[in-house]
Amino acid sequence: MATKASRAAARMMISPAVLLLLGWMIVPLVLTVYFSFLRYNLITPSGNPFVGSENYYWFVTDPSFEEAMINTLLLVGGVLLITVIGGILLALLLDRPMFGQGIIRVMVIAPFFVMPTVSALVWKNMFMNPVNGIFGRIATGLGFEAIDFFGQIPLTSIIVIVSWQWLPFATLILFTALQSLDQEQIEAAEMDGANRLSRFWHIMLPHLSRAITVVILIQTIFLLSIFAEILVTTNGGPGTATTNLTYLIYVSSLLQFDVGMGSAGGVIAIILANIVAIFLMRMIGKNLDA
Amino acid sequence: MGQITLKQVSKNFDELTVIPPLNLQIEDGEFVVFVGPSGCGKSTLLRLIAGLEDVTEGAIFIDGQDATTLPPAKRGLAMVFQSYALYPHMTVRKNIAFPLRMAGLEKAEQDKRIESAAKALNLTDYLDRKPSQLSGGQRQRVAIGRAIVREPKAFLFDEPLSNLDAALRVGMRLEISELHKRLATTMIYVTHDQVEAMTMADKIVVINAGVIEQVGSPLELYRAPKNLFVAGFIGSPKMNFIEGERASEHGAHTIGIRPEHIDVSENEGRWKGTVGLSEHLGSDTFFHIQDSSLQRQVTVRVSGEVGFAQGDTIYMTPRPNMIHKFDSKGDRIQ
Amino acid sequence: MARAVTSSVKITNTIIAGLFGSLLFFPILWILILSFKTEEDAIRAPLEILFSSGWTLESFSTVQARSDYLKHFSNSVIISLGSTFLGLLVAVPAAWSMAFVPAKRTKNVLMWMLSTKMLPPVGVLVPIYLIFRDLGLLDSRLGLTVVLMLINLPIIIWMLYTYFREIPNEILEAARMDGASLRSEVLYVLTPMAVPGMASTVLLNIILAWNEAFWTLNLTAAQAAPLTAFIASYSSPEGLFYAKLSAASVMAIAPILIMGWFSQKQLVRGLTFGAVK
């Protein structure tokens, strides 16, 4: 079908999308980079002089930066651990013959569709509240002392909340991948004398490895940007105990109005995300060839 | 009506030459079969005639008119695809009606043609079903029906029977041949199955790597293959090829003898060998014989059930007037 | 498997899976229950709440009265539908041309588009905020709709592309052989076959836009705040009014939970960018 005329028409049809996305990417990005080299604070009018890498220096040497980076790593790592392992187990469970599989699947998927602000608040207030929350009631009911989740282990609490939200995603992806495993491969393994554990380890897991990698990469990209849950539960506190890189930049930009610093932080966040994105793009690219 | 001429037609995909320049003449009303191994370019050739691909060079004439730059819709040809390509969201009736709709035919005329095509193809009961509710054979008929109602100059078939099971295939072969007799319209049929080619064609075009090896009637190709490729392609089981001394005895680089043209005997014959595997069909028996002085096995077909067991000594005599001779380039020696 | 699976195995599996499913689903169930309770009942012991308290709609009405749920609901509707519709307008031609008239560069263009989705929003928070401020787009539904359209555009294009590619080329060729002009081919054959895929894409994108919680929180205030921001206002101390929080939450998530039911398959397709089949 590809004649010269249709190629020209095709180019015309793609251009709005390309132009829009190009604009969306380039304009703000260029500005962010530009601002990152200025001393620019919205509340102190000072002519925005060019200060080279001063912003970067101050951003990175600020003690809260190190804490934010650690928190970011912990958040991403913790959620990944819970969702990938939990996802594999749940996927394996759902793969078995049972009654009402459809309903159970819907129950497992549902948390992903709950908006982050609702998740966070419901968990914080109705489950994790030491006095009235359900966990607290169960604890005191059994004679233990209630854990003050957000007082004692705020970061862990957020990890729990975010894991609850993303577990369905991981489960769904891994379950889909599991379903694509040719049943005959497993039967062949059985004929070859492999027991359940061997079948899982040598056949299912390698088949899933690709899906697991995708889950890890995609979730990482989104988890680096966890924001709403922190905003709505702890505002990054106590202190900077639950501040991740995204939240730190937010504080700098919109609460302290330090455009210069916020932009420097933004550039760092972009570079971080890019590293992960490169790996993900390679995987996608391989699949597009297929 | 339905005369198609290809003059110096060639097709390249990027750098790759899939079809070097070829010439072909198809007469009105002929049933022509393009046959060849997978990837030989027969489907590409069909699609060039259909207009679904552009020729790189050369010209295609339909009924004397230059159709090379005409889009498929304007060439007056109908095509039956390997996967049937039925419109999944339309009923059978609407599927068959579609080309008539595109041609702007009046509703009454459309209905008339649909009814008659449905009757001819036994589809009347299925007119209101959707393709997903039909069996493979029924879908095939719908595809043919959609082609028939257009009353085209020629029908193009792209391996239409490949997706059917064996029994259905034999039945459909007959139906398509009957259709051709009835309509007397040109039909160009692509297949890799030489049995289909031999049983259905008026004229067979044997294609290999984009090159036409031979054009002729089925019997012509059977009796007088022009080269080793055609000789080995037509006829099942394959013709036996023998080189060396036995060939030079006849003044050729290679001789060929079909399995059905070798007589066997327990005690005397020109060649001697040992029976290897044998295949018993009841109607025929195929013996694969290890000839002591040859590297390859010789295949022999005998009518009926003949009792040679594995390991038996057997004597073979090829019928002298059935020996084909080929030179060192693989071409036929007269 | 051709072997018969005994009922007892199935029942065991059902119980275990049902247990985990219920655990995961429990928070949603819980707020559903509590949204129909009075505030006094909502802070009693959980078992008491379940078994010895009455049902009421008063929490829903309180939420609406106190914080104008309907306005925020309509904001969510407008920006979700608006950004999806705008996105379709741009995405359909783009996906169409990439799927049916592919060039050598098509794959790279597609991958580049997907990569724009991987940009962390916080990296462009500053300039977008300032631009919006200067253009008067802060706290405007228009501004938010445009942003959401842009961040979801890659996904819309990607999903449409994959659905278009699944339409067998032979069927389009058959239409051409049947005498259809390009217009007829698109109108009578292509579009009907693409509609299910387009519907799935629309569904998934409404969900993603509805739940978006970065730009909706940072670019809006009283006027344009959708439900994500509306709920955020319940952080403290409002959040301790469990019945109200539940009612507000249920009202915020109900539409999407229903839509989510229908779009599980699309989720895999849309959010893994085809890296998982």
Residue C239 structure tokens = 């959040």
What is the pLDDT at residue A138?
86
What confidence tens digit (pLDDT) does each residue in C231-242 have? 888 877 767 788
**Taking the CA atoms of chain C, what radius of gyration do you get in angstroms?**
23
pLDDT > 70: percent of chain B: 100
Residue A185 vs residue A270, higher pLDDT? A270
Task: Give the Cα separation of C79 and C225 in Å (integer).
Answer: 10
Coil, strand or helix: which one is B6?
strand
Answer yes or no: do B81 and C178 touch at CB < 8 A: no
Answer yes or no: do A289 and C107 touch at CB < 8 A: yes
Task: Give the Cα separation of A17 and C164 in Å (integer).
Answer: 17
Residues of B in contact with C178 (CB under 8 A): 73, 78, 98-99, 102, 146, 150
Q: Could you say which residues from 154 to 183 on chain A have a Cβ atom under 8 Å away from some Cβ of chain C?
A: 164, 167-169, 172-173, 176-177, 180, 183
Answer yes or no: do C97 and A9 touch at CB < 8 A: yes
Q: Does A232 touch chain C (CB under 8 A)?
A: yes
pLDDT greater than 80 at residue C275: no
Residue C138 structure tokens = 């802060």
What is the pLDDT at residue A231?
92
Average pLDDT over residues B129-134: 92
Residue A184 structure tokens = 């005959």
Nearest CA in chain A to C12: A98
pLDDT greater than 60 at residue B175: yes
What is the pLDDT at residue B222?
94
Of C11, C118, C260, the CB nearest to A221: C118
What confidence tens digit (pLDDT) does each residue in A117-176 have? 999 999 998 898 888 888 888 888 888 888 888 888 999 999 999 999 999 999 988 998
pLDDT level of residue A1 (50, 70, 90 thresholds): very low
Mean pLDDT of chain A: 88
Q: Give the helix ranges, DSSP H, for B121-256.
A: 136-148, 166-183, 194-200, 218-223, 228-233, 245-249
What is the pLDDT at residue B266?
86
Task: Give the Cα separation of B154 and B151 in Å (integer).
Answer: 8
Residue B119 structure tokens = 């009757």
Mean pLDDT of chain B: 91
Query: Which of C217, C194, C20, C219 shows the shortest CA–CA distance to C99?
Result: C194
Task: Give the Cα separation of A57 and A47 in Å (integer).
Answer: 21
Residues of C in contact with B50 (CB under 8 A): 177
Average pLDDT over residues B68-74: 89
Answer yes or no: do C176 and B88 touch at CB < 8 A: no
Answer yes or no: do B72 and C184 touch at CB < 8 A: no
What is the pLDDT at residue C211?
93
B240-243 vs B254-257, strand pairing mode: antiparallel
Mean pLDDT of chain C: 87
Task: Give the Cα separation of C177 and C189 in Å (integer).
Answer: 13
Q: In this structure, which amino acid lies at residue C246? A: S
- Cβ pair A178, A204 in contact under 8 A: yes
What confidence tens digit (pLDDT) does each residue in B235-252 have? 888 999 988 888 888 888
What confidence tens digit (pLDDT) does each residue in B202-242 have? 999 999 999 999 999 999 999 999 999 999 999 888 999 98
pLDDT level of residue B147 (50, 70, 90 thresholds): very high
What is the pLDDT at residue C1?
47
Which H or E element spans position C14? helix C7-34
Nearest CA in chain B to C176: B73
What confidence tens digit (pLDDT) does each residue in C76-123 have? 999 999 999 999 999 999 998 899 888 888 888 998 998 898 889 999
Residues of A in contact with C96 (CB under 8 A): 13
Task: Give the Cα separation of B13 and A256 in Å (integer).
Answer: 62
Best C104, C178, C182 member to test B by mutation, with max B CBs in 10 Å, is C178
Residue B202 structure tokens = 């008026």
Best A31, A41, A98, A118 member to test C by mutation, with max C CBs in 10 Å, is A118
pLDDT > 70: percent of chain A: 97
What confidence tens digit (pLDDT) does each residue in C45-80 have? 777 777 777 788 888 888 888 778 889 999 999 999
Q: Does C191 touch chain B (CB under 8 A)?
A: no
What is the pLDDT at residue B216?
95
> How many Cβ atoms from other residues are within 10 Å of residue B164's Cβ?
18
B4-13 vs B203-208, strand pairing mode: unpaired
Task: Give the Cα separation of C23 and A135 in Å (integer).
Answer: 13
Average pLDDT over residues B85-89: 92
Q: In this structure, which amino acid lies at residue A218? A: I
Answer yes or no: do C14 and A100 touch at CB < 8 A: yes
Query: Which of B230, B284, B225, B229 shows the shortest CA–CA distance to B259?
Result: B284
Q: DSSP of chain A, one letter per residue?
A: ---HHHHHHHHHHHHHHHHHHHHHHHHHHHHHHHHHTB--BTTB-----B-TTHHHHHHHHSHHHHHHHHHHHHHHHHHHHHHHHHHHHHHHHHTS--SSHHHHHHHHHGGGGS-HHHHHHIIIIIIS-TTTSHHHHHHHHHTPPPP-HHHH-HHHHHHHHHHHHHHHHHHHHHHHHHHTS-HHHHHHHHHTT--HHHHIIIIIHHHHHHHHHHHHHHHHHHHTT--HHHHHHTTT-STTTT--HHHHHHIIIIIS-BHHHHHHHHHHHHHHHHHHHHHHHHHHHHHHH-
What is the pLDDT at residue A195?
85
Coil, strand or helix: which one is C150?
helix
Average pLDDT over residues C260-272: 72
Least confident of A72-81, A140-149, B156-165, C216-225: A140-149
What is the pLDDT at residue A247?
94
Answer yes or no: do C181 and B85 touch at CB < 8 A: no
Q: Does C194 touch chain B (CB under 8 A)?
A: no
Of A115, A173, A284, the CB nearest to C114: A284
DSSP single-letter state for residue C273:
T
Q: List beta partners, residue B79.
A: B156
What confidence tens digit (pLDDT) does each residue in B91-121 have? 999 999 999 998 888 999 999 999 999 998 8
> How many Cβ atoms from other residues are within 10 Å of residue B271's Cβ?
19
Q: Which of B309-323, C79-93, C231-245, C246-260 has the highest mean pLDDT?
A: C79-93
Answer yes or no: do C181 and B73 touch at CB < 8 A: yes
pLDDT greater than 80 at residue B1: no
pLDDT greater than 70 at residue A5: no
E strand segments, chain B: 4-13, 16-26, 31-35, 57-62, 65-66, 77-80, 154-158, 186-191, 203-208, 211-216, 240-243, 254-257, 262-265, 271-280, 284-291, 297-303, 313-318, 324-326
**Those residues with Cβ within 8 angstroms of residue B63's Cβ, 6 or more apart along the chain or in another chain:** B1, B2, B3, B153
What is the pLDDT at residue C41?
78
Task: Give the Cα separation of B77 and B147 in Å (integer).
Answer: 9
Residue A6 structure tokens = 């249709």
pLDDT level of residue A3 (50, 70, 90 thresholds): low
pLDDT greater than 60 at residue A115: yes
Of B72, B83, B102, the CB nearest to C170: B83
Task: Give the Cα separation of C178 and B87 in Å (integer).
Answer: 12
Of C94, C239, C242, the CB nearest to A14: C94
